[in-house]
Amino acid sequence: MIRTGYGIGYNAGGYPSIIGQLVNQAPFAVTQNLASNRSNPLTLQVGFPTNSALTILNTHAIDPNYKPAYAQQWNLDVQTQISRLYLVNVTNSGARGTGLDILLVPNRTSNASNFIYQTNGANSIYHGLNVQLLRRFSHGFDMVKSYTLSNSNEGEAIGGLAGMEPGGRGDFGRMGGPPGMRQPEERKGEATVAISLPLRNL
């Protein structure tokens, strides 16, 4: 028996997230993203300091050519019976993300506060192979043994705000991991056995 499938989906939640960021920017709101150090600490007495040199007060900016990301998923499943009770099932599955979000940190000028620049263009890919050996229920028990081998490459996919690193594209710093970050190969084995015991009526 052979089964296969393919699907594609777009990130419908990208634009609502952007709207949520922009409504908190000037001129709709006054926001500040402040950096402090030991020589110039941020205190409760001066929690919202003013700086007349700052003419760009935004803390978040969006690429005007931003496009929503999309993901493709596919699988190929082959199942065959090797005996009266035993079956082998082999599944190859994959997923590819295209145009994923990237968060960049532009080098600040003297008239701008700290802000994040959101664009897209990152890619990711996943491949997985799963092999299962199944024993049909007979003589009181059945069994499933499986082994999975998978690997992924996150490309320039950005996760969270941690790990701010200088450099990147031109005058930008990239937030997150380095480009072309390949995840280590993952291997996983599982075994499930179900036994049905005869019970006498009480």
Burial class (CB in 10 A: 0-12, 13-18, 19+), 155: buried
Q: What is the pLDDT of residue 195?
A: 67
pLDDT tier for residue 177 given thresholds of 50, 70 and 90 = very low
Longest dimension (CA), the chain: 87
Mean residue pLDDT of the chain comes to 75
Percent of the chain residues topping a pLDDT of 70: 68
Long-range Cβ contact pairs of 50-53 (< 8 A, separation 24 or more): 53/110, 53/111
Q: What is the pLDDT of residue 150?
A: 87
Q: What is the pLDDT of residue 113?
A: 65
pLDDT tier for residue 167 given thresholds of 50, 70 and 90 = very low
103 pLDDT above the threshold of 90: no
pLDDT digits (tens, 9 = 90+) for 1-35: 899 999 999 988 878 888 888 888 777 777 666 66
Cα–Cα dist 112/128, whole Å: 46
Mean pLDDT of 157-164: 37
pTM over 0.75: no
